[in-house]
Structure 1
Amino acid sequence: MINRRVLTCQTATATPLAAVFESENRAEQVGLSPFDRITCRFHRRWIHDCVVSPAHVVAVAGYRWCGDCAAAATVMVDHLGCEVVVWCERCDRRLHDGPNEQLRQVCLRSLEVSRGRRAFSPEYGVRRSA
């Protein structure tokens, strides 16, 4: 039996990592926030592939951080189901606050672009002045 969930998450039209990485490097020079990147400048990987690294805990900004118990959060990436959860193991709950929700959305975009489920847009996250 064919697992349709796997087939919907992966296609042959995935955007190459190197192309997205270089595009985001250029976009960052004109205003892309480092927190909006779907590639990791430090690890040179898709963000969903390395977000579990301690390097991605940014306590002062609240990324991968539980403010209630002052602990690093865990990020669970389901590659087959195309889902991402930011979880505090101490509080035993999902974190939906601003920075952690942004991180979850960025990881989802990374997963979807890498699998070809979403087109890459280098302008996403670039702050435009009025």
Structure 2
Amino acid sequence: MLMCEQFLVNKYGKVTAGVWVAIVIQFTVVTLINTAYSAITLLVVDAATPGTLGAVNGLAQMLASGFRGLAPSVASSLFALSLDSQIAGGYFVYIVLLGVAITGTRCTLNKKWDFE
């Protein structure tokens, strides 16, 4: 979302109402993302059987921590590559991250959850 705000400020040369709207949207999305962490934990707990709950929860937390630790270095490297090579005008990193977000969203929408 920072890209959108940066683009608007660069285009108009000042902070406009559109930039403030983008900031409000960004804060709304961040709130929803923080809520999603709790929802993911509940889905993991619901999917595990009582005998495997500890192992499944531990594995899920370990993988989540690993990816959260790896993601900043990958994103920073991709950002540097985008700017250095001027791929897609330097915005290639945002295209890749948007693709990851869309793929994750599609994966969650394809699953039909059966809650008892």
- TM-score by length of structure 1 reads 0.30
Higher strand share: 1
Which one has a bigger Cα radius of gyration?
2
- TM-score by length of structure 2 reads 0.32
Using CA pairs below 8 Å that are at least 6 residues apart, which structure has the higher relative contact order? 1
